Amino acid sequence: AADGEWASYGNSPYGTRYSPLAQITPANVAGLEQAWVYHAGQPGPDRHSAHQLEVTPLMVDGLLYGCDAHTAVFALDPVTGKQVWRHNTPIDAAIGGRGVCRGVSYYRAPGPVDECPTRILVGTVDNRLIALDAKTGKSCLGFGDKGSVDLSEGEGLSKFAPGLINPTSPPTIVRGVAVIGAYVVDNQAVDVPPGVIRGYDAVTGQLKWAFDPGRPDEHGAPAPGQAYVPSTPNSWPVFSGDEALGLVYLPMGNGSPDFYGVKRTPETDRFSSAVVALDVETGAVRWVFQAIHHDLWDYDLAAQPVLTDFPVAGGTVPALIEATKTGQIFVLDRRTGQPLTKVEEKPVPASIIAGERASPTQPFSTGMPDFAGPRLTEADMWGISPFDQLYCRIQFRRAHYEGMYTPLRLGPTIRSPGELGGIDWGSVSLDEKHQLLIVNSNLMADYDEFISRQQADKEHVFADLDPRKKGAPPPPYRSAAM
């Protein structure tokens, strides 16, 4: 990247997260001083938001671009921190989803356009994709409907409670197609909005295709009055793209609920917790690699795939590196999805939940380092005081635990790694020059508990959404980090 630019969320569409800049060194880092502070904004009025600042800014053409949790977009002078422009995106607080904006996307039109030759694209907290002039922050009126595309079209949101779906990660732009997914709320109901991923023309905002995991062979918008298939796996993290191959790579999650798979369909299971490669021109599925079979642990693939040339006998192969919440790192041929390092199917504990179709085996990437951490013991339990530690040890002894992939059951169980991983949406970084993969991983277990419907009613669990109106609900659960 020229002059220290950081033009994509992961520095490039390959997601390597590596900067070649060398001015800051171990010898002078202690002398760094704060140069400026910018206050991105205050929490907004919507009741659904987590109000989190999770943005990774872009640095392009001499400006620093970012967004706040309510999709206000800003451009700053990177030297002084002075605000060059700010677009306070109007949002509908009544339907606003999770207040998170991980970043924006920068796009330079390949040919002459009437407006916004360089533009910022971002998904909003109330389910829209907007385009702004990169130099002024004004809406690109030729994009969609006066600068905005309605992402709720075809999602059948009138049948769902508000705030269950919205994009939280920036679109990935490959061959002029802006590909965007969405966060869908976890574990609040069996029937939730669809996990559809769509590709839009980055200049006009026109829908080019849709990938509906429930109907993967249909690539257009639903017919009037129809909707995409609900409760399918979604993809909420950042995608990666390969311009030469014309592929976009999706790290997929689960259809809700995460811990109860009795109502899932074969289509849902096919794409759940898998890397899916789509043709960016058509939305057609090129290949699928599943990292967790019939995921019952909230092990969404959260990390942006990293693309690189992987050394093999006789040369290199175009590769994809996918880090997972299970602590496994899979290395795949990004043309075909075939593993380039050894992957073994190993037996895992069986589920005793009635009707559950748990997989008897799971893939383990034995050809790469494992970041899952050791099997927990009572001696690992921790407390801020001896009494806390004693209580934690008692809870550990009371809970069911069979190591990794322990399935939930009625009563307490322990899940390790927990839902934070392993490796979460921070992904990994790759120094290609030195062939170094830099991994930041978590070692934190979760203490879960399935409870009966009767106990949930007694505790008024999920009273806001009342999932009983949607048909038979799954057993509710409780979860806490250990």
Catalytic site positions: 298
Partners of 177 in the β-ladder: 174, 201
Place of tokens 């732009």: 173
Residues 6+ apart with CB under 8 A from 377: none
Could you tell me if 121 and 105 are in contact, meaning their C-beta atoms sit under 8 angstroms apart?
yes
Distance CA 429, CA 438 (A): 5
Instruction: Measure the CA–CA gap between 66 and 192, rounded to whole angstroms.
Output: 30
Report which DSSP code applies to 340. Answer: S
Q: CB under 8 Å to 106, separation ≥6 — which residues?
A: 7, 8, 58, 60, 65, 118, 119, 120, 134
Q: 217 phi and psi, to 5 degrees?
A: -90, 0
Phi, psi of 450, rounded to the nearest 5 degrees: -80, 135
Bridge partner list, 287: 277
Specify burial of residue 461 (Cβ count, 10 A radius: 0-12, 13-18, 19+): middle
Helix, strand and coil percent figures for the chain, each rounded to 5? 10, 30, 65
Q: Which residues neighbour 185 within 8 Å (Cβ) at sequence distance 6 or greater?
A: 97, 98, 163, 164, 165, 192, 256
CA distances from 469 to 190, 261, 463 (A): 11, 19, 11
Name 165's bridge partners: 184
Rounded Cα–Cα distance for residues 409 and 450 (Å):
6
**Shortest CA distance to 407 belongs to which of 290, 303, 260?**
260
* In the block, residue with structure tokens 């040369």: 315
